[in-house]
C-alpha cells in the first residue's frame, strides 16, 4: 500500500474528458476515491480552466480537455480538526465572530477546512457565501469579521485599508510594563513599512511578573503587536516566535473591541447615513491576569 504520510503534489493535464475529476486524481495519485473526495471537501484540490484557478469541491465535476487538476495532499493538515468559533453578531451582510487560538484566517493550497470562513460557510444559518475581510494571527484570538456579500466585504476591507476602524487588543506580557507616561507609543517600522502601536498598563501581577495591557494599533502589519512589545523587552505571554522559548501557554493576545462606521443599506433616504457599529468580546473571552 502506498505511503501517503509525506506531503506531495499531483498535477494533471486533462486530455480525456470522459472521466470525473475524482477518477483522474485517484488514478494519478494512487489515493482511493474516498480520500480524494475528502481532500476535495477540505480544499486541497484545484481546477485550472484557462487563466483561472479555483478550488474544486464537487466530486461529480468532469473537467474538459485542456483543463488542469491539482492535488496538494498533506495528511497531517487534512486530519486537523478545526476549532469552533463563537458567533458575536449576525448582521446579515457580514457577521462578527470570536476566533479561537489555532483557527486560521485564510487557507493555503493544502486546504482551507480549518479557516474561519470555511467553518462559517458550513455552519452559520441561514447559509451564505463567506469572504475574508481581514486577518488575525493563527495563535491570536478575538474579534474577526466575515463578509457574506461582495459589496459589504469590499466596504469593510476598505475600512481596514484606510485605517478607519478602532481596534483594541488585550495583551498579557512578561515583566512590569511602565506606567509613566500612561501610554507608551511604538513607531518602529515592520518589514520596511510604517507601524504604530499604543499600549497602556491596566494591571500588574507582582507574584508572576506579568502585566495586562490594552493595545491600540493604527496600522495592521504582520505580528505588529508581538514584535513591538518584544523589541521593547515585554514579550507577549505564549509567544513562541518572538518571546521566551520555554513559554508553553497559548498566546495571550486578543482582539477585544472593534468600532467603525458602516453604510446603512436601507433604501429610506433618512437612513442613508453611516451607522456606528461597535463590538466587544464578553469578559469571559478576554485575557485576565488571574487566568494565566
Q: How far apart are CA 106 and CA 65, in angstroms?
A: 31
Whether residue 272 has pLDDT greater than 80: no
Instruction: Quote the pLDDT of residue 1.
Output: 47
Residue 167 has pLDDT above 50, yes or no: yes
Query: CA torsion, points 108, 110, 113, 115, in degrees to nearest 10?
Result: -20
48-105: pLDDT as tens digits: 999 999 999 999 999 999 999 999 999 999 999 999 999 999 999 999 999 999 999 9
The one-character DSSP state at 286 is S
C-alpha cell at 199: 499600549
Residue 144 β-bridge partners: 97
Rounded mean pLDDT, 122-137: 96
CB 69 within 8 A of CB 47: yes
Predicted confidence band at 244 (pLDDT cuts at 50, 70, 90)?
confident
Separation between Cα atoms, residue 50 and residue 61, nearest integer Å: 16
Q: What is the pLDDT confidence band of residue 264, given thresholds at 50, 70 and 90?
A: low
The per-residue pLDDT of the chain, averaged, comes to 92
Q: Which residue has the cell 459589504?
A: 152
- Strand segments, DSSP code E, in the chain are 8-13, 45-49, 52-55, 68-73, 86-90, 94-99, 131-132, 141-147, 166-174, 183-186, 197-205, 210-217, 253-262, 275-280
Q: How far apart are CA 273 and CA 231, in angstroms?
A: 42
The reported pLDDT for the residue numbered 248 is 79
Ranges 102-106, 159-163, 242-246: which has the least confidence: 242-246
In order, the DSSP letters of 247-272 are --SPP-EEEEEEEEEE----SSGGG-
Cell numbers placing 240: 513562541
User: Is beta strand 68-73 parallel, antiparallel or unpaired with respect to 8-13?
Assistant: antiparallel
- Check if the beta carbon of residue 63 is closer than 8 Å to that of residue 69: yes
User: 63 near 19, Cβ under 8 Å?
Assistant: no
A 10 A CB-CB count for 18 gives 7
Q: Average pLDDT in the 33-37 region?
A: 97
Map out the domains of the chain with their CATH numbers: 8-79 (3.10.290.10), 86-162 (3.30.70.580), 166-256 (3.30.2350.10)
Q: State residue 269's pLDDT score.
A: 45
pLDDT band, very low/low/confident/very high, at 221 (cuts 50, 70, 90): confident
Top mean-pLDDT range of 111-115, 220-224, 272-276: 111-115
- State the pLDDT at residue 114: 97
Distance CA 79, CA 5 (A): 11
Helix (H, G, I), strand (E, B) or coil at 145: strand
Alpha carbons 157 and 273: distance in angstroms, whole number: 19
Q: Identify the three-state secondary structure at position 19.
A: coil
Cα 253 to Cα 267: distance, rounded to the nearest angstrom? 40
Band of pLDDT at residue 2, cut at 50, 70 and 90:
low
Average pLDDT of 22-33? Answer: 96
Percent of the chain with pLDDT over 70: 94
Residue in this structure with the C-alpha cell 457565501, named with its chain if needed: 129
Decide: 254 and 212 in contact? Cβ < 8 Å: no
pLDDT of residue 12: 97
Question: pTM for this one?
Answer: 0.89
pLDDT tens profile 174-201: 999 999 999 999 998 888 888 899 999 9
Q: How far is CA 135 from CA 117, 174, 228, in A?
A: 11, 25, 18
Amino acid at each position: 500500500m502506498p505511503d501517503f504520510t509525506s506531503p506531495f503534489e499531483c498535477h494533471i493535464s486533462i486530455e480525456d474528458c470522459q472521466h470525473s475529476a475524482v477518477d483522474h486524481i485517484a488514478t494519478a495519485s494512487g489515493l482511493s476515491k474516498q480520500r480524494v473526495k475528502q481532500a476535495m471537501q477540505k480544499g486541497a484540490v484545484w481546477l485550472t480552466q484557462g487563466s483561472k484557478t479555483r478550488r474544486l469541491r464537487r466530486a461529480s465535476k468532469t473537467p474538459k480537455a485542456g483543463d488542469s487538476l491539482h492535488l496538494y495532499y498533506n495528511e497531517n493538515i487534512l486530519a486537523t480538526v478545526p476549532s469552533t468559533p463563537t458567533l458575536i453578531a449576525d448582521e446579515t451582510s457580514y457577521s462578527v465572530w470570536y476566533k479561537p487560538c489555532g483557527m486560521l484566517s485564510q487557507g493555503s493550497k493544502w486546504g482551507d477546512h480549518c479557516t474561519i470562513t470555511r467553518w462559517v460557510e458550513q455552519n452559520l444559518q441561514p447559509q451564505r457565501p463567506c469572504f475574508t475581510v481581514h486577518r488575525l494571527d493563527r495563535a491570536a484570538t478575538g474579534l474577526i469579521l466575515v463578509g457574506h456579500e461582495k459589496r459589504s466585504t469590499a466596504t469593510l476591507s476598505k475600512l481596514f485599508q484606510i485605517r478607519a476602524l478602532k481596534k483594541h487588543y488585550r495583551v498579557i506580557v512578561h515583566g512590569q510594563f511602565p506606567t509613566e507616561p500612561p501610554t507608551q507609543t511604538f513607531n518602529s517600522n515592520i518589514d520596511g513599512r510604517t507601524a504604530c502601536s499604543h499600549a497602556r498598563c491596566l494591571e500588574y501581577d507582582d507574584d508572576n511578573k506579568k502585566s495586562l495591557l490594552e493595545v491600540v494599533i493604527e496600522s495592521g502589519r504582520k505580528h505588529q503587536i508581538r514584535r513591538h512589545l518584544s523589541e521593547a523587552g515585554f514579550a507577549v505571554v505564549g509567544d513562541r516566535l518572538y518571546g521566551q522559548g520555554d513559554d508553553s501557554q497559548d498566546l495571550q493576545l486578543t482582539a477585544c473591541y472593534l468600532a467603525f462606521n458602516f453604510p446603512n443599506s436601507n433604501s429610506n433616504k433618512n437612513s442613508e447615513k453611516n451607522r456606528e457599529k461597535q463590538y466587544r468580546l464578553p469578559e469571559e473571552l478576554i485575557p485576565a491576569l488571574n487566568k494565566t
